[in-house]
Structure 1
Amino acid sequence: MLGTTRSPLLSATFVALVAGQGISLFGNTMLRFAISMWVLDATGSSTAFAAILAISVMPTVVIGPFGGVLADRINRRTMMVGLDVLSGIVTLLSLIWIARMGFSITVIAGMQIILAVLDALETPTVQAALPQMFKRHGAGTLRQGMAVINQVQQLSNLMPSFIGGILYAFFGIRLMMAATVLCFVAAAIVECRIRLEPPHAESDGERQPSPIADLRNAFLFLTHEQPALFRLVALCAWLNFILVGFSSISFPFIVRTTLGFSAAVYGTCDGIVGIAGIAGTFAAGMFATRLHAQHASMSLWFEGLLMLPPAVSFMMPVSVWTRLLVLTGCLAAGMIAVDFLNLIIFPTIQFKTPESMTGKVMALITSVATCTQPLGQMVYGWLHEWLPVWLILVCSALAILPFAVMARPMFDNLES
């Protein structure tokens, strides 16, 4: 049989999923970057686009869970193809309006919000498609598949910004939007090659529950049937609160304000951390089949302890360059640890969740994690007004390390 001689990762369905996601994410990320540059050039204000970004986060929280409901009811290939086609249509209509009427912050905001809604619907669809493809092949294969998707996402977050900046500078926003339309169309065409069975339908004569009831059932599954998974979701939310808050607020504040370095230096350091994130996804993918739930506790220890060397450097009379190198190096190493942790946690949740609930459960996790991001950013912004840098780093370590101890029995239970 073909399945016994060839890796499931080489199947036409998975290759089409990876290619479609890569093309779609590339175009979407490139457009977001170019739009930000265009708004800044046209208005001279970062406040306008910051407001658009803040609004565009909301669909992930509000719409995302209902995307999970759809992912568990509708053929997932049909969902992905349809959402990419709709994204292309929205971008094309916006391009036509801008080409005829010129710059419009309202049109840009509307386009960004609609694209964010469509993306919020697609994310749980992809997360539900992976276990449908690989669950029968075991947890190791599922982790390998997740590693490949993570690598595509990391590359799609880094490369389009660089390429988009060059193309925007030479050709302007209209060409960028046209290129994004082509990316969405190409992604939809590639995704047509995905072969997935529709989710299991309800029994004959049994009425399908409402979306709210469906989400309630998924929540009850986490809290009552699998409380260990619910604790795992809470742990993900807590880590997101700390790590996103620190990386997005503390890191630039420390480099630019506390240490007094230029934007160019910060950009270089941020690029190093981004490259480390990509390297981490490839490294985690290499060990995917050997990772187990218990290894998550080791990753937590590593993440917490990495906060301490920068704290020590800020307590000692060393140069600002030494502090910068220690901080950047530890944050880059922490990104690699996060990649390993993600590759352990999320496939574990997917593997323990029934296929009929995978989309809803993963969408709930994404929504909870997204809610914690602005809270973490607000808290870390407040901390820098009242506490020295070394104490913030120590507090961050102390906020992670106890969970490394408490998480070990939880992961042991999940593995068993």
Structure 2
Amino acid sequence: MKKGFSKNFYLVVIGQIISLFGNAVIRFALPLHLLSVTGSAALLGVVSGVAFLPLVVMSPIGGLIADRMNKRNIMVVLDFFTAGLVLLFLVLSGRGSLVSLILIMLFLLYGISGAYQPSVQASIPLLVSEEAVMPANAIINMVSSLSGLLGPALGGIAYGLWGITPILYVCMGCFFLSAVMEIFIHIPFVKRVRTDTLLHETIADMKSSLIFIGREKKEIGKLTFCCAAVNLFLSALMIVSLPVIVTQVLVFPRNNASEMYGFLEALMAGGGLLGGLGAGLLSKRLNVRSTWKLLFCCGMLLLPMGAALYKGLPVYLAYLILAVSGILIMAMASLYTIQVMSYIQITTPPGLIGKVISWIIALSTCAQPLGQIMYGFLLEHLRGMLWIVFVVTAAATMLFARWNRRVAQRL
């Protein structure tokens, strides 16, 4: 096991690269195709918003399955199933309602993602040495960030050149190739003997994971809420505010707001990659007890972003302030999440890892759309005073960081 990583871990990473790239492309291309065909932005918003629900529902279920079945088999089956799903979509295209087909497809894709990720996260402590858990998480995080960056970019270019059908064939090939490769992964697994009905055992498993988070290891429950808070305050604000500010508030001399927003999105994704790289390179120097400092710095960085929205500031200077602050916030948020996730993986018993991680994914996933709704409302009603949103969020983030400090000191 070189540097704490096993051959099987590298195979998981390669499978993630292929599978996540295909998933990112198809989840970007399908809504774009819907908008292109129907021309309805409202319909796009409804379909995209509702499609997140299966991710929330399936994450806890995926955690239960991950702790009871061979994690390798889960990955293989879900990738083969996704490839078959894309093929079925290709066959049914043009034979029914496009809106219904895309909605069902996105529902299933997000549901599969919710069931898939707990297996990947739960397998990491089984495939690497304890000191390599944080670098391993950093690698998985960077793969996810890179897929989220390149998938939509390449998907948008490919859709403009060739349309939806070739994209679907490529994605189907990605899922099929990933599934075949994952067959050769070996993840340690001890089969549990069933002592009761499936329903009773499922309820008992859910109860045991909640008891572990809420009573036996309260710090993990509190850290879970901290991760959700990062999505609620920071991620949601970045997602909702930046397109509004760049395309509707800042007035660029060359009338190239869309282009400038595209650059800014790429820079934000680069910030996430930077955080993952930092976690991998500095893993031996990082301590989960100090993670509150990252949240506090994120809150501080929101203040210059608010200051950039004052009238009279040169537009490109305001843009530069937003870009630099945003990159640093995304890097620190990524670094924070990786450290917290690594601590939870190391301290959670093997039989509970999948379920505990699934609760983190579910709560974090719920928090982000709630934050987006909240900030959407605030940005709409405070259009002339957007700096207030950043100042209030900065104060809330720094207060949350102080609470996080008390939690981390007990670890």
Shorter chain as denominator, the TM-score bin is over 0.9
Aligned equivalent of 1:151: 142
Aligned equivalent of 2:46: 51
Aligned equivalent of 1:234: 225
What letter is aligned with 2:184?
R
Q: Is the 8 A contact 2:213 2:221 kept in 1?
A: yes
Q: Is the 8 A contact 1:249 1:380 kept in 2?
A: yes
Query: Which contiguous aligned blocks of 4+ residues in structure 1 show a shift greater than 4 angstroms?
Result: 204-209
Q: Which runs of 5+ in 2 are unaligned?
A: none
* 3-state SS in 1 of match to 2:52: helix
Aligned equivalent of 2:117: 123
- Alpha-carbon deviation of 1:206? 6.6
Question: Is residue 403 of structure 1 aligned with residue 400 of structure 2?
Answer: yes
- Alpha-carbon deviation of 1:357? 0.6
Q: Which runs of 5+ in 1 are unaligned?
A: none
Q: How many residues align?
A: 404
Q: Is the 8 A contact 2:292 2:404 kept in 1?
A: yes
- Alpha-carbon deviation of 1:318? 2.2
Residues 85-94 or 241-250, more deviating: 241-250
What letter is aligned with 1:166?
I
Question: Is residue 252 of structure 1 aligned with residue 243 of structure 2?
Answer: yes
Q: Is the 8 A contact 1:141 1:289 kept in 2?
A: no
Whole-Å separation in 2 of the counterparts to 1:378 and 1:181:
33
Whole-Å separation in 2 of the counterparts to 1:181 and 1:81:
14
What letter is aligned with 1:75?
N
User: Structure 1 pair 405/78, CA: closer, same or farther in 2 (3 Å)?
Assistant: same
What letter is aligned with 2:113?
D
- Alpha-carbon deviation of 1:395? 0.6
What letter is aligned with 2:402?
V
Aligned equivalent of 1:186: 177
> Alpha-carbon deviations, 1:321-357, whole Å to 9, x = none?
2222112210111111112101211111111111101
Whole-Å separation in 1 of the counterparts to 2:196 and 2:352:
17
Aligned equivalent of 1:223: 214
Q: Is the 8 A contact 1:313 1:326 kept in 2?
A: yes
Aligned equivalent of 1:64: 59
> Alpha-carbon deviations, 1:215-274, whole Å to 9, x = none?
121111111101111111111112211012211112222222222352222222222222
Whole-Å separation in 2 of the counterparts to 1:118 and 1:313:
41
Question: Is residue 211 of structure 1 aligned with residue 202 of structure 2?
Answer: yes
What letter is aligned with 1:318?
L
- Alpha-carbon deviation of 1:304? 0.9
What letter is aligned with 1:240?
N
Q: Is the 8 A contact 1:59 1:116 kept in 2?
A: yes
Question: Is residue 164 of structure 1 aligned with residue 164 of structure 2?
Answer: no
Whole-Å separation in 1 of the counterparts to 2:278 and 2:261:
25
Q: Is the 8 A contact 1:307 1:397 kept in 2?
A: yes
Aligned equivalent of 1:39: 34
- Alpha-carbon deviation of 1:29? 1.1
Aligned equivalent of 2:4: 8
* 3-state SS in 2 of match to 1:64: helix
- Alpha-carbon deviation of 1:276? 2.1
What letter is aligned with 2:334?
D
What letter is aligned with 1:201?
R
Q: Is the 8 A contact 2:146 2:269 kept in 1?
A: no
Q: Is the 8 A contact 1:144 1:289 kept in 2?
A: no
Question: Is residue 306 of structure 1 aligned with residue 323 of structure 2?
Answer: no
Question: Is residue 108 of structure 1 aligned with residue 102 of structure 2?
Answer: yes
Q: Is the 8 A contact 1:272 1:332 kept in 2?
A: yes
What letter is aligned with 1:406?
W
Question: Is residue 132 of structure 1 aligned with residue 126 of structure 2?
Answer: yes
Aligned equivalent of 1:382: 377
- Alpha-carbon deviation of 1:284? 2.2
Whole-Å separation in 2 of the counterparts to 1:153 and 1:32:
14
> Alpha-carbon deviations, 1:8-56, whole Å to 9, x = none?
32x2211110011110111111112222232222111223332222222
Q: Is the 8 A contact 1:12 1:193 kept in 2?
A: no
> Alpha-carbon deviations, 1:87-122, whole Å to 9, x = none?
011111111122x63872222221221122111110
Whole-Å separation in 2 of the counterparts to 1:205 and 1:123:
27
Whole-Å separation in 1 of the counterparts to 2:90 and 2:176:
15
- Alpha-carbon deviation of 1:205? 5.1
TM-score, normalising length: structure 1:
0.92
Question: Is residue 348 of structure 1 aligned with residue 339 of structure 2?
Answer: no
What letter is aligned with 2:95?
M
Aligned equivalent of 1:17: 12
> Alpha-carbon deviations, 1:260-309, whole Å to 9, x = none?
35222222222222222222222221112321112302211211110111
* 3-state SS in 1 of match to 2:251: coil
TM-score, normalising length: structure 2:
0.93
- Alpha-carbon deviation of 1:199? 4.2
Whole-Å separation in 2 of the counterparts to 1:327 and 1:283:
22
Whole-Å separation in 1 of the counterparts to 2:261 and 2:167:
27
RMSD (CA atoms)? 1.9
Whole-Å separation in 2 of the counterparts to 1:361 and 1:382:
32
* 3-state SS in 2 of match to 1:376: helix
Q: Is the 8 A contact 1:303 1:337 kept in 2?
A: yes
* 3-state SS in 2 of match to 1:290: coil
* 3-state SS in 1 of match to 2:365: helix
Q: Is the 8 A contact 2:31 2:102 kept in 1?
A: no
Aligned equivalent of 2:330: 335
Q: Is the 8 A contact 1:288 1:343 kept in 2?
A: no
* 3-state SS in 1 of match to 2:309: helix
> Alpha-carbon deviations, 1:134-168, whole Å to 9, x = none?
3xx22x31001101101111111111222222222
